[in-house]
Each structure stands twice: as structure tokens, then as C-alpha cells.
A = this chain, B = another copy of it.
Amino acid sequence: MGKQSTEMLKGTLEGIVLAILSVCPAYGYEITARLREQGFSDIAEGTVYALLVRIEQRGLVEVVKTPSEKGPPRKVYSLNAEGREYLEEFWRTWSFLAERLERLREGGD
């Protein structure tokens, strides 16, 4: 995708990652891989790690360091109560936006 998607991801990627974490805890490398599987093929690794740092500092996730057999220790992130609440708020905001846009698309044909 072009640079339109880059801008569109702003604010959305955060919700996407939180949604992934709401299913089950995961670590950065894993999340990146999962994003690629789900079609977000061109999301940079650095972007994900920076995002994880952010949501950790905001207190939306808990972090547990666990050793890995291959490579350095993993930082496993899991949603806490605040994170879950934030995720719900995200879905509300997303729904609002998606609804308006759907209406606009219908009207604009």
C-alpha cells in the first residue's frame, strides 16, 4: 500500500496491537509476525517496539520477561484492566469513524 495507509495507521495501529493482546499475551517479535500474517505486511519492526514502549508507559499492559531458547529474553505483554477499557474506547471511536465514512461513501457515488 502507498503512504495513505501509513497515515491511516496512526492511532489505529495502537488499537490493532491492543486487540491482538486481548486475545492472548504476546511479545514484540511475535506481534510483528502476527501483523504480517494478517495482511499488514509492511509494518516496520521498530514501529511495533516503539508502540509497545508507549502503551507500557501509559499503564495499559503488564510486562513479564521470560527467557527464550533461541535469542535474548522475550518481553511478554498482556492487557490489564485499563488496557481493556482503553481498547473498548478504541472500538467505540473506530465504530463512529467507520460509520461516518460508510455513509459518506454511499452518498458520494
A66 contacts the other chain (CB 8 A): no
- Type the 1/0 row for A1-20, where 1 means its CB is closer than 8 Å to any CB of B: 11011111111101110011
For A22, the chain B residues whose CB sits under 8 A away are 108
Q: How many copies does the complex hold?
A: 2
A44 contacts the other chain (CB 8 A): no
A38 contacts the other chain (CB 8 A): yes
Interface size for A (C-beta < 8 A) is 36
Residue from the list B7, B40, B89 in contact with A4, Cβ < 8 A: B89
- Residues of A in contact with B (beta carbons under 8 Å apart): 1-2, 4-12, 14-16, 19-20, 22-23, 38-40, 89-91, 93-94, 96-98, 100-101, 103-105, 107-108
